[in-house]
Amino acid sequence: MTERKPPGVDFESWVEKQIREAQERGEFEDLPGAGKPLPGRDRPVEEQWWLRDYLRREGLPADALLPTPLQLRKEVEQLPDTVASLASETAVRDTISALNRRIANWLRSGTGPRVHVVPVDDAAADELVETWRRARAEHSAPAPAERAERRRWWRRSGG
């Protein structure tokens, strides 16, 4: 908008005047997509196709649309899968404490929908670390070596 709406002027007429003046200046010429059909016209009627399309284009998961407390609860539920790929116990504990800090910050903020979110307590954190250790031990345990048949390379097959 180039100017403020003057007092006493109807919004509709003021907006129409702004559009007409922009058309006269040629500001709507050569816009990307000009002359092409609107995207999504060929799709079946669904309420939020444009939102799914936006998430796909931006490479965002649908979880990004959830309110903060639901995102945090989902992270707590997915914590075992999240820490499974970490390389050290320190990284596991750091991930848990970072999540707990985000939960505490949200609880202190007092904003958003009131959804019950509980930080990961010490006992659950220790259990998660122990599970991580067991999975690491199973993954890195050497397989029992099969006894290879020993052949003496200097022996020649007799004939």
Given this model, what pLDDT does residue 44 score? 67
| Alpha helix segments (H runs only) across 26-86 | 49-58, 68-77, 79-84
62-94: per-residue pLDDT in tens?
888 888 899 999 999 999 999 998 999 999 999
Q: What angle do CA 87, 90, 92 make, to 5 degrees?
A: 65
Q: How far apart are the C-alpha atoms of 119 and 100, rounded to whole Å?
A: 5
106 within some domain: yes
132 within some domain: yes
89 within some domain: yes
The total number of structural domains in the chain stands at 1
24 within some domain: no
User: Is the overall model pTM greater than 0.75, yes or no?
Assistant: no
104 within some domain: yes
46 within some domain: no
48 within some domain: no
* pLDDT at position 4 over 80: no
96 within some domain: yes
User: Domain span at residue 86?
Assistant: 65-139
